[in-house]
Amino acid sequence: MSLKPWVHTFVFMALLALAAPAHAQRFTITTPDAELRGMVAVSDPDRLTRTLGKPEIQFDLAASHDTLLDLRIRRAGLKLPNGKTATAFASHAESNLVIVAGGPVAQIAIAVITPEGSTREALVLFKAADGTLLAPAADQVAVFDTAFNRLPFTYSPAAIPKHTLLPVTLLLDISGSMTGHMKDVVNAAQSFMASLPLYARCRIVLFNDRVQNFWPAPGQASVCAAAGFAFWKPLPEPAGGTALLAAIDDGLQNPPDVSGPHMQSITLVVTDGVDTGALDPARVVRRLAALKAARGGKLFVFWAGVADPQHLHGLADLQIEGGADVKTELERFFRALGVSLSGLQSVRIGER
């Protein structure tokens, strides 16, 4: 990563040198290309921009995509508080909201919008053209409604979200064929949970022939960094088959118990084989896909052994195959997601 000497850096993860795989899904965010082509850098407008790390795998955390609205935004020429034309935008039609940014920002994703009385809080990812996560300066961000009326807002780079929690569920395969991978899985999961922001809440579920809650106790929520210490408890010895679809069902229906507003839940699966329990896997996958669509949320899957992405086609938002070096690829998977989630920025609409 090459930075100008005057740019302040705020890096959550360093030396992320591997390129994202060709099949990794990317944020579907629109950039007004015409404005970008016309920009000429003659000064240092980005001196207050902070960099937050570059995830090696791109995770789509966007809560909404609206192509028709994006076309209108392209033509609107929306301006930033500093008077310059925005270089990127993201919209959420249901919330009547458009967020734009400038400077080095080339992509934006709105992960969630949470109402709080007369105000709203949006959690947003700002990204450079090379995928590096950014916290742009306050005068490089603006908020509009979908009629392009400017809205009051407050934004402080790298501020902790005020109202919104992030529920994360880890589904870990402990079937017999995972025997050689469990130490690597536990170490990578611990590092991942320790890297998550304080507003993240984690639940850990184990599965083989059956699905079992590991941490915390049912009806409770745990800060993710604390949940990582749960692995000091001995895990059951790997044995049995792979009730993969039953575990996903549990994860989607029972995210960490968080009271109050929260982001769409994120469910992570680490498994080394396809489901061995369902009589009609295709029918179960269709049912789970409908459940996820109704509830919202993201499902990310890491295949540590026998990989069959087609098995979860239409259900998983992203699938990564571990290949020969499962340890390295698993660490990369967790590290990239941790950087992405830690890079979310809080924009509060309706405040001054």
21 domain-assigned = no
Q: Looking at residue 98, what is its pLDDT?
A: 94
Q: Which two tokens stand for residue 71?
A: 């076309």
Q: Is 268 helix (H, G, I), strand (E, B) or coil?
A: strand
Distance (Å, whole) CA 124 – CA 111: 6
Are 148 and 220 members of one domain? no
Estimate to the nearest angstrom the gap between the alpha carbon of 194 and the chain centroid. Answer: 16
DSSP 236: P
Are 152 and 173 members of one domain? no
DSSP 141: E
Rounded to the nearest integer, the mean pLDDT of the chain is 80
Instruction: List the single range of 15-24, 49-58, 316-325 with lowest mean pLDDT.
Output: 15-24
Are 155 and 250 members of one domain? no
Q: Which two tokens stand for residue 102?
A: 């400038």
Are 203 and 130 members of one domain? no
For the whole prediction, is pTM greater than 0.95? no
**Which residues lie closer than 8 Å to 352 by C-beta, 6 or more apart?**
152, 154
Are 208 and 307 members of one domain? yes
How many other C-beta atoms are found inside a 10 Å radius of the C-beta of residue 116? 16
pLDDT digits (tens, 9 = 90+) for 75-111: 888 999 989 999 999 998 888 999 999 999 999 998 8
Distance (Å, whole) CA 308 – CA 319: 9
Are 250 and 178 members of one domain? yes
Q: Looking at residue 10, what is its pLDDT?
A: 29
pLDDT range class, residue 352, cuts 50, 70, 90 = low
Are 42 and 146 members of one domain? yes
Average pLDDT over residues 51-72: 65
Are 293 and 181 members of one domain? yes
318-321 vs 298-303, strand pairing mode: parallel
Are 147 and 96 members of one domain? yes
Closest CA to 173 of 115, 117, 246: 246
pLDDT range class, residue 351, cuts 50, 70, 90 = low
Name residue 200's beta-bridge partners: 166
Residue 311, exposed/middle/buried by CB under 10 A (0-12, 13-18, 19+)? buried
Q: Looking at residue 54, what is its pLDDT?
A: 66
Domain carrying residue 255: 166-321
Estimate to the nearest angstrom the gap between the alpha carbon of 335 and the chain centroid. Answer: 12
